[in-house]
């Protein structure tokens, strides 16, 4: 049987707008993602609105909020609603707000913060629950962010491949993505996480290896593990698993790092781009 025969029906748990009392939700693709309308995040989140945003994130994996003119304190306050915030040891945050990472591309700069599919900080023992990215300056065109659904990537593998991978552990290191020049940073050399991670809230399995930080499979030689990882890295990019978010000024995107990966497109030559990112700490995968 061809690999495509194992592709499950594309699905989100796409609750309609009337299923949310505090805002409206419009799904963006068959694989993942939704726009949320009717919330002013400057006021923070609490009560029913917070619970519904949490539910919408579990249902859609990526949430897009347009026209959210947040300052640094408001962004940090919003992130802390969902948990403790990560301070990246490799990239300095804002001077007065170390939790906020600036993702900055200057005019006429060609080396950009882009180029590989990944989930944030999988090199930590407790990788991220999710990330919030806020558009401060956007190019005239381009600079989109792509997202991929790792539930679907796992479920589309053949039963034979899933049986082989289930129980294996991927090896993750920050130094593959950030370089050994940062070896002084407070980060572990190597951590292991299940190749198939069980989401702690939904109970669904998701593929949990990425080309930025996964460097091997525990118990395998490089010659054995690299072809397998290369296949998985190609597989998870299949268009039917993905969503492309076009940025607008002051848009905020909140995604679940436990079951998605993302990719920043470097297709805006000569234009500046500035984003603020905060990352919410998660739990140890199992």
Among this protein's residues, is 40 annotated catalytic? no
Hey, what are 63's tokens?
């949430």
Q: Which of 118, 134, 172, 197 is catalytic?
A: 118
Q: Which of 86, 134, 197, 262 is catalytic?
A: 262
Among this protein's residues, is 262 annotated catalytic? yes
Q: What is the 3-state secondary structure (H, E, C) of the chain?
A: CCHHHHCCCCCCCCCCHHHCCCCEEEECCCCCCEEEECCCHHHCCCHHHHHHHHHHHHHHCEEEECCCCCCHHHHHHHHHCCCCECCCCCCCEECCEEEEEEEEECCCCCCCCCCCCECCCCCCCCCEEEEEEEEEECCCCCCCEEEEEHHHHHHCCCHHHHHHHCCCEEEECHHHHHCHHHCCCCCCCCEEEECEEECCCCCCEEECCCCCCEEEECCCCHHHHHHHHHHHHHHCCCHHHEEEECCCCCCEEEEECCCEEEEECCCCCCCCEEEEEEEEECCCCC
d(CA 41, CA 161): 43
Q: Which of 60, 120, 193, 273 is catalytic?
A: 120
Among this protein's residues, is 60 annotated catalytic? no
Q: Which of 60, 172, 258, 277 is catalytic?
A: 277
Among this protein's residues, is 193 annotated catalytic? no
Among 133, 135, 137, which Cα is nearest to 106's? Answer: 137
Active site residue ranges: 118, 120, 262, 277
């Amino acid at each position: 049987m061809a690999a495509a025969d194992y592709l499950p029906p594309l699905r989100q748990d796409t609750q309609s707008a009337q299923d949310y009392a505090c805002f409206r939700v419009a799904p963006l693709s068959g694989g993942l993602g939704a726009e949320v309308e009717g919330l002013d995040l400057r006021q923070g989140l609490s009560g029913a609105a917070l619970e519904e945003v949490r539910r919408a994130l579990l249902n859609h994996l990526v949430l897009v909020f347009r026209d959210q003119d947040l300052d640094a304190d408001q962004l940090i306050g919003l992130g802390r609603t969902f948990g403790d915030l990560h301070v990246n040891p490799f990239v300095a945050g804002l001077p007065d707000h170390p939790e906020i990472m600036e993702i900055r591309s200057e005019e006429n700069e060609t080396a950009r913060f882009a180029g590989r599919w990944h989930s944030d900080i999988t090199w930590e023992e407790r990788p991220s629950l999710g990330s919030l990215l806020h558009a401060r300056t956007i190019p005239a065109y381009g600079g989109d962010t792509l997202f991929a659904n790792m539930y679907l990537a796992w479920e589309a593998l053949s039963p034979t491949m899933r049986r082989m991978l289930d129980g294996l552990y991927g090896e993750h290191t920050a130094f593959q993505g950030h370089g050994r020049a940062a070896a002084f940073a407070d980060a572990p050399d190597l951590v292991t996480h299940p190749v198939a991670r069980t989401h702690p809230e939904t109970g669904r399995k998701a593929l949990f290896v990425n080309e930025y930080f996964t460097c091997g499979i525990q118990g395998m030689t490089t010659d054995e593990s690299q072809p397998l990882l290369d296949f998985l890295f190609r597989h998870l990019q299949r268009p039917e698993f993905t969503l492309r978010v076009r940025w607008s000024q002051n848009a905020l995107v909140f995604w679940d790092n436990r079951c998605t990966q993302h990719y920043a497109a470097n297709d805006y030559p000569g234009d500046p781009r500035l984003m603020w990112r905060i990352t919410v700490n998660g739990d140890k995968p199992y």
